[in-house]
Amino acid sequence: MDYKNSGVDIEAGYKSVELMKKYVQGTMRPEVLSGLGGFSGAFSMKAFQGMENPTLVSGTDGVGTKLKLAFLLDKHDTIGIDCVAMCVNDIACAGAEPLFFLDYIACGKNHPEKIATIVSGVAEGCKQSGAALIGGETAEHPGLMPEDEYDLAGFAVGVVDEKDIITGADLKAGDVLIGMASSGVHSNGFSLVRKIFPMTKESLETYYDELGKTLGEALLAPTKIYVRALRGIREAGVRVKACSHITGGGFYENVPRMLPEGRHAVIRKDSYEVPAIFRMMAREGQVEEKIMYNTYNMGIGMVLAVDAADVDKTLAAIGSAKESAYVIGEIKDGEKGVTLC
């Protein structure tokens, strides 16, 4: 009896590391001081030089049951983008610039080519956000997970000067809400998605004219990463007063998180066109409109508040980052919360 016979293949682990090296290398930043395969990742503090009071901001998240669709379609090259996006978008809401990222993959059996494909998506997400992929872990769990399944989670660290942290503290009535377009469902609410649609390969590979693609392509579209757009807004000289990543809990849970007491957000549902995938989900699943807005991003992945005088500059900066944005509402005095009308 040996370790391999018990279900853990150490050689497969070595091969996975070798295969993923080319993807990881593409994410390197000058501050990275360690190579892949060590016991830890080292990152120089030179990135903080010039800040009055550098402050680290961290975030961790996973992809959830969206993974089930990746399993069904045997498509694993973009799920890593989702993992990075869920982490870096959260820390970007605080005004932080992502510095580095670590991933964790737990699998029933280590298939090196599949693991490398997953990591290729993680590396792509890191490149989109400017974060270095400085480490990670692939854990083989025979007997705990099915051999053809895995779970994926990540951890991001960013930095921001304390004076530039986005807190929402100076929000005032008349400030304008801008919504940045999502790429689709992103990585939340897939437990409901899997109840609405038959989870079969045939169903997911069915083409729909209203979507302009197959159902699986629409649902597996990787989560947008908004770091570049938010960086562009800062470089345009605009102060983002408050910011909310629209994830699980939709508008009703996430928008109030960016508000101080005494400020109320009003969002106009007709200020942009809700993407076809959400209309289809509501129809096919007979899901009430309020539940849709309380579960999904409905086409808006990030909401930010700026002074009315900065709206044009903000929209221009977002456009320069090749993202779409809409004026979707405003801030009013009142009880902390959000009204969709």
Please write the tens of the pLDDT for every residue from 213-228.
Answer: 999 999 999 999 999 9
Residue 20: predicted pLDDT: 66
Report the C-alpha gap between 200 and 73 in whole angstroms.
Answer: 9
Contact 29, 129 (CB under 8 A): no
Amino acid at 131: A
> What's the average model confidence in pLDDT over 238-267?
96
Q: Looking at domain 176-340, what is its CATH homologous superfamily?
A: PurM-like C-terminal domain (3.90.650.10)
Interval 41-63: pLDDT, tens: 888 888 788 889 999 999 999 99
3-state secondary structure of 338: strand
The span from the first CA to the last CA of the chain, in angstroms, equals 66
Supply the pLDDT for residue 2: 43
Residues 266-284 as b/e (b if ≥16 CB within 10 A, e otherwise) read ebeeeebebbbbbbbbbee
Question: 155: which 2 tokens?
Answer: 């951890």
Q: What are phi and psi of 6, to 5 degrees?
A: -80, -10
What mean pLDDT do residues 283-303 have? Answer: 96
Q: Is the pLDDT of residue 194 over 60?
A: yes
Least confident piece of the model among 31-40, 47-56, 70-79, 249-258: 31-40
Whether 130 has a pLDDT exceeding 90, the answer reads: yes
Q: Does 176-340 match 10-164 at the fold level?
A: no
Question: Measured between alpha carbons, how far is 251 from 137 in angstroms, rounded to an integer?
Answer: 34
pLDDT band at 171 (very low <50, low <70, confident <90, very high): very high
Residue with tokens 């494909």: 117
Residue 6 three-state SS: coil
pLDDT at position 157 is 96
User: What is the average pLDDT across 246-266?
Assistant: 95
Closest by CA position to 152, among listed 186, 107, 206: 107
Q: What is the pLDDT of residue 87?
A: 97
pLDDT at 322: 95
* Residue pLDDT, tens place only, 2-56: 445 555 555 665 566 676 677 777 788 888 887 666 677 888 888 788 889 999 9
Q: Report pLDDT for 230.
A: 97
Question: What's the confidence (pLDDT) of residue 33?
Answer: 83
What's residue 40's pLDDT?
A: 79
pLDDT at residue 225, rounded to an integer: 97
Q: Where are the domains of the chain?
A: 10-164, 176-340
Query: According to the 3-state scheme, what is the secondary structure of 87-100?
Result: HHHHHHCCCCEEEE
pLDDT at residue 86, as a whole number: 96
Q: What percent of the chain has pLDDT over 90?
A: 79
CATH of domain 10-164: 3.30.1330.10
- Give me the pLDDT at residue 341, please: 94
